[in-house]
């Protein structure tokens, strides 16, 4: 347990939490609303970044879990008012969807995995679009549920901001703990050299499925939070366009870390808000930025910030923020010794 907690950069997380909770002091009301949505998309992007950056699974259907969580709150919220129950149901449904679908998907890799996830999301999109009597079809569905954690209803821009900020920090910490755990290191080892991990006796498919299931549950939680924020859900939340946008967030932000996709979510939404006020073709500009990062900036925005951080901050302090300049210990050391 001590080794697991020691793998988390607590000073950096503490500073991140202080910045997050102090941000509304300097933001106008509109900025608070945008930041709230950024936190939701950051949770979604981080969940996708987990399987891309740590498991090597590139998905183009991750919106399936986001939409599943959103529709869970919208549909069950008509009969159930308990926020804890609704969020738990969303996480459970998203996790089960990921586990059952992933049991088939992780048997493939590369383009085959990508196409299977895309097809799965499009099936759910078609179901939500055609089941008009249940989901409202293309017209969407209003969300009647209001978040209430036992301290009164969470309403207003600032209430929703702090709610989403707390969930973002909680999800980020949870995934940091997972990545630092033996299971998380094994997942990373499978991505780096699957044949070697198989030779050492690891069930590589199980570790891929574990990461995929956790990713789906977190993405579904993000969808549930979005339903509370937007009070309206549509089949577009399940579509491939939204999945593609999440993929752009991860790549632009940096797929090799957990914080990178969150930064990419903020970058994407801010660019969308800024560019759309000047041109209707903001998607073209975002596409060019995406191509530039793929061709030149492979590490994304996070890598650029980390480079500046390394040049300015001494190495001793960088260690406190989670950057370890020494090479990482191989995840298979104990198994190799046993052999």
Q: What SS3 class is residue 142?
A: strand
Number of separate domains in the chain: 1
**pLDDT at residue 36, rounded to an integer:** 96
Structure tokens at 337: 């010794």
Using CA atoms, how far residue 261 sits from 29, 30, 101, 158, 306, in Å, is: 25, 23, 24, 24, 14
For residue 302, what are the contacts with CB-CB under 8 A and spacing of at least 6? Answer: 253, 254, 256, 257, 259, 260, 263, 264
For residue 54, what are the contacts with CB-CB under 8 A and spacing of at least 6? Answer: 179, 184, 187, 188, 191, 211
**pLDDT at residue 235, rounded to an integer:** 95
Tell whether the model's pLDDT for residue 291 goes beyond 90.
Answer: no
* pTM across the whole model: 0.88
Question: What's the CATH number where 333 sits?
Answer: 1.10.3470
Tell whether the model's pLDDT for residue 331 goes beyond 70.
Answer: no
Proportion of the chain above pLDDT 90, given as a percent: 65
CA 256 to chain centre: 13
Across 85-102, average pLDDT: 97
**pLDDT at residue 16, rounded to an integer:** 86
Q: How many CA atoms lie within 13 A of 124 on its CB side?
A: 28
Of all helices (H) and strands (E), which one includes residue 129?
Answer: helix 110-130
CA–CA distance, 77 with 233 (Å, rounded to integer): 12
Q: Is 70 within 8 Å of 45 (Cβ atoms)?
A: no
Across 203-230, average pLDDT: 96
Q: What is the CA radius of gyration of the chain?
A: 20
**Higher pLDDT, residue 243 or 109:** 243
Domain of residue 236 covers 2-338
């Amino acid at each position: 347990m001590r080794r697991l907690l020691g793998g988390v950069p607590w000073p950096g997380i503490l500073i991140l939490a202080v910045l997050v909770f102090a941000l509304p002091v300097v933001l106008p009301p509109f900025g608070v609303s945008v930041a709230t949505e950024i936190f939701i998309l950051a949770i979604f992007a981080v969940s996708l970044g987990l399987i891309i950056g740590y498991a090597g699974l590139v998905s183009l259907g991750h919106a399936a879990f986001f939409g599943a969580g959103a529709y869970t709150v919208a549909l069950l919220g008509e009969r159930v008012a308990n926020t804890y129950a609704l969020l738990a149901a969303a996480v459970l449904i998203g996790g089960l969807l990921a586990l059952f679908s992933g049991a088939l998907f992780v048997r493939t890799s590369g383009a085959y995995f990508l196409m299977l996830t895309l097809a799965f999301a499009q099936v759910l999109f078609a179901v939500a679009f055609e089941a008009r009597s249940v989901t409202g079809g293309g017209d969407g569905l209003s969300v009647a549920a209001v978040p209430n954690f036992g301290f009164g209803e969470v309403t207003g821009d600032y209430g929703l901001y702090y709610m989403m900020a707390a969930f973002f920090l909680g999800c980020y910490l949870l995934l940091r703990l997972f990545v630092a755990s033996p299971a998380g290191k094994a997942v990373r080892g499978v991505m780096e050299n699957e044949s070697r991990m198989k030779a050492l006796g690891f069930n590589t498919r199980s570790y891929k499925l574990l990461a995929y299931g956790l990713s789906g549950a977190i993405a579904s939680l993000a969808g549930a939070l979005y339903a509370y924020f937007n009070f309206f859900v549509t089949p577009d939340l399940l579509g491939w366009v939204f999945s593609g946008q999440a993929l752009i967030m991860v790549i632009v932000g940096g797929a090799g870390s957990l914080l990178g996709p969150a930064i990419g979510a903020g970058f994407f939404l801010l660019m969308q808000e800024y560019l759309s006020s000047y041109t209707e073709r903001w998607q073209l500009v975002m596409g060019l930025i995406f191509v530039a990062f793929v061709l030149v900036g492979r590490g994304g925005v996070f890598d650029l910030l980390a480079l500046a951080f390394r040049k300015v901050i001494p190495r001793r302090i960088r260690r406190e923020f989670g950057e370890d300049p020494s090479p990482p210990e191989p995840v298979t050391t104990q198994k190799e010794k046993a052999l």
